[in-house]
Structure 1
């Protein structure tokens, strides 16, 4: 099924896909658990960033073709049509293929072990992309590269996935989960009102014309500046600059 770990990582929730016998392929029950756990994460005021992970052999091999997850408004794999208000980071080891690529594309950032493998391998079986891959993949890697992955169904290594921008960071095998948690902790420790609004501004701005996009950014920016905690960040900046000046003084 799935597992949740909230111990020892301030503001971070780790959600694991736990079907190692099926390379973490997702059936209906697992899809429902993913959906419920991510909704709970989004509603939890103490949780700021989620890490979505599998195991050392596979992040996710997509839908379990022997036990297909049912079609649902939130996406067959569970959360892939949800729009959460907080960041999710994919920690990828081993296979991240078919719907696994779509699930990873749904996440904000992707950290991968060096031996991780990607690809729209469902092409070989006539299974369509139906968890947002045709929408998100071109926006992450560009139209031409997305069509290459989608139409050929070829396998892609982590080096290429990083080069084209799908993978955010490549790390040593077996360390993707720890690296993703470290990244999540750093993001969670940032001034949170600003993180939330900047992230929302990016997603809401996709597809807008320039004038509308800038107006949307301005609206979010004004909300951050008007927030009660904005002065705290400015004060920290002033302290940082003063300390730096002292260090640089001859």
Structure 2
């Protein structure tokens, strides 16, 4: 089979795919904090954000349980630094975002906002700086899974929407609670939520600000898994490890193509072309070797959690 695409050779297509997969890595905002400084300031147990590496999976926790993990400026900065570092680290495949102490995130810290709009230092150009919640304007090149417990509301909901998947505990609550205080969704809520669950359901949440329990969130497609209380983080970690075990170039190409079709393509044909341009090189890079392993009996029978192809 001659793997060519018009006048573009497979080699040039492969280079284009790699550039495309790394393109979203440019959708981050530079931080003045070095990696060494980041580990000191944000990974300690007393910091507003904690992180822990588990093999090729990174756990990132919002650590302000006394404020239901509401995000202030320092927390927003730390979250941006942690997720940017994850995205740049080629040895990491998946990250899990969670809240310490029983709540995912209650949104932006309104006590800080009460001091006046000047305290926010908002960057209006979304391509030039982070959002109020920190990493909400980022487009990660690798999967993010949210482990949702307790409240994930207002800006906390927007952080959960940044994730590719959400594992929610049975007693968890999601919602646009900022509706009652006149605080707008400026961390991607009006952009991601309609695409995720449809305009009608999104407007139901956006206009009413009502609480959404876990099983309704699951029915909406807002949650991907519902687990007993206290198990979201462990379930999310196991899910992340499963995703991390798959061939990563193929996984990221498919993920990137799905996001491109949803947010960037202007037509069906353009989306299909993008999928093809970025999929064909993966056939050479991973699929041929994967097919050979499958032929030898590896990975058959749907044993995805144990697959090391």
TM range (shorter): over 0.9
* 2:289 paired with 1:232: yes
Cross-structure match for 1:66: 111
Following superposition, the deviation at residue 145 of structure 1 comes to 0.3
Task: Map 1:1-250 to 2 at 5 A.
Answer: 1-6=48-53, 9-68=54-113, 69-72=120-123, 73-207=129-263, 208=265, 209-227=267-285, 229-240=286-297
TM-score (norm 2): 0.75
For 1:231 and 1:42, the matched residues in 2 are separated by 27
Contact 1:56/1:93 (CA < 8 Å) preserved in 2?
no
**Relative to 1, partners in 2 of residues 1:137 and 1:243: Cα closer, same or farther, differing over 3 Å?**
closer
Structure 1 range deviating more: 68-77 or 26-35: 68-77
SS of the residue corresponding to residue 206 of structure 1 reads: helix
For 1:43 and 1:243, the matched residues in 2 are separated by 33
For 1:204 and 1:223, the matched residues in 2 are separated by 17
Following superposition, the deviation at residue 84 of structure 1 comes to 1.0
SS of the residue corresponding to residue 112 of structure 2 reads: coil
SS of the residue corresponding to residue 107 of structure 1 reads: coil
Following superposition, the deviation at residue 70 of structure 1 comes to 3.9
For 1:150 and 1:59, the matched residues in 2 are separated by 19
Q: C-alpha deviations, 1:32-77, integer Å up to 9, x for none? A: 0000000000011110000000034210001001124542422111
Following superposition, the deviation at residue 161 of structure 1 comes to 0.4
Contact 2:133/2:155 (CA < 8 Å) preserved in 1?
yes
Structure 1's consecutive aligned runs of 4 or more residues displaced over 4 angstroms after TM superposition are 241-244
**Relative to 1, partners in 2 of residues 1:97 and 1:243: Cα closer, same or farther, differing over 3 Å?**
closer
Following superposition, the deviation at residue 243 of structure 1 comes to 6.9
SS of the residue corresponding to residue 296 of structure 2 reads: helix
SS of the residue corresponding to residue 246 of structure 2 reads: coil
For 1:62 and 1:238, the matched residues in 2 are separated by 50
SS of the residue corresponding to residue 142 of structure 2 reads: coil
Following superposition, the deviation at residue 235 of structure 1 comes to 1.6
Could you tell me which runs of 5 or more consecutive residues in structure 1 were left unpaired when the two chains were aligned. Answer: 245-250
Contact 2:87/2:141 (CA < 8 Å) preserved in 1?
yes
Following superposition, the deviation at residue 11 of structure 1 comes to 0.9
TM-score (norm 1): 0.93
Contact 1:55/1:93 (CA < 8 Å) preserved in 2?
no
For 2:142 and 2:206, the matched residues in 1 are separated by 28
Could you tell me which runs of 5 or more consecutive residues in structure 2 were left unpaired when the two chains were aligned. Answer: 1-47, 114-119, 124-128, 302-309
Report how many aligned residue pairs link the two structures. 241
For 2:56 and 2:271, the matched residues in 1 are separated by 30
Cross-structure match for 1:247: none
